[in-house]
Amino acid sequence: MKLDFDKMDGLVPAIIQDAKTGKVLMLAYMNQIAWEKTLETGNAWFYSRSRDKQWMKGEESGNVQKVKEVFIDCDDDTVLLKVEQVGDAACHKGYQSCFFRKLNGELTVIEEKVFDPDKVYKK
Amino acid sequence: MKLDFDKMDGLVPAIIQDAKTGKVLMLAYMNQIAWEKTLETGNAWFYSRSRDKQWMKGEESGNVQKVKEVFIDCDDDTVLLKVEQVGDAACHKGYQSCFFRKLNGELTVIEEKVFDPDKVYKK
């Protein structure tokens, strides 16, 4: 199984979905190393474009994502992971999902905060 | 509401999820025009990197995506659309979802074909 990392300069997007509820939790990017680490460890690893390095989701917050199922799209250039979200929050802003805002004319926050980011992340 | 198109040279990824079942159907990219057309028309529009133009999903197959809900992620650089998938198939290869293959050591097709692409798309 070889993913197509060429279309996006060495990255593929990965959609993260809650395995139990089907809720889409976040989208992040993987490079080859993050992809291999995800398969090897069973925890979701990503590549941070801003920090220019791979990282394990939850390495600081503890909210790791345990991979339950892996799907590849028809073009081999997108990954879908169904995960168990430890801590019940994927978003670094403290929400269950990064998609905590709904657009309906204006943007409205539709989720309750699960944790306070100021208490979880070091400055 | 202003999406951040700068991180990916004018594009943002859009996750398409079936509004009723929660199934993730596909991922595609939007440029500013596709984003505006999606909001204006209520049908999903994307930008094709290979064809270098925006297109309405289903314009050839008839399998349009009627947008039911729109969500924006915490960084304003990813869109999640919950849609009604007309024709019950999003993938150009004839499957309900582009994620019709599951990786478990090897890749296995886990969906039944909904349509025959050779009969739906012109060569």
Does the pLDDT at position B39 exceed 90? Answer: yes
Neighbours of B107 (CB within 10 A): 14
Q: Rounded distance, CA B30 to CA B45, Å?
A: 7
DSSP strand pairing (B65-72 vs B101-104): unpaired
Chain A hits for B80, Cβ within 8 Å: 24, 99
Is residue B26 a contact partner of residue A79, using CB atoms and an 8 Å limit? no
> Tell me, what DSSP letter sits at residue A9?
T
Q: Considering only the beta carbons, identify the residue of A17, A92, A103 that sits closest to B71.
A: A103
Computed from CA positions of residues A31, B24, B50, B92, in that sequence, does the dihedral angle turn out positive or negative?
A: positive
Window 73-92 of B: residues touching A by CB (8 A cutoff) are 73-75, 78, 80, 91-92
Q: Rounded distance, CA B105 to CA B99, Å?
A: 16
B71-95 pLDDT per residue, tens: 999 999 999 999 999 999 999 999 9
Q: What are the structural domain ranges in chain A? A: 6-120
* Residue whose C-alpha is closest to residue B53's, from B61, B45, B64, B62: B45
Instruction: Answer whether A93 touches B (CB < 8 Å).
Output: yes
Put simply, whether the predicted model's pTM sits higher than 0.95 gets the answer yes
B106-115 pLDDT per residue, tens: 999 999 999 9
Instruction: Give chain A's residues under pLDDT 70.
Output: 123
R_g of chain A, CA atoms, integer Å:
15
A8-25 pLDDT per residue, tens: 999 999 999 999 999 999
The amino acid at residue B20 is K
Helix (H, G, I), strand (E, B) or coil at B9: coil
Q: Domain B6-117 carries which CATH code? A: 3.10.20.810
Say whether domain A6-120 belongs to CATH 3.10.20.810. Answer: yes
Q: Rounded distance, CA A89 to CA B21, Å?
A: 22
CB contact under 8 A, B106 and A75: no
Predicted-assembly ipTM surpassing the 0.85 threshold: yes
User: What is the per-residue pLDDT for A123?
Assistant: 60
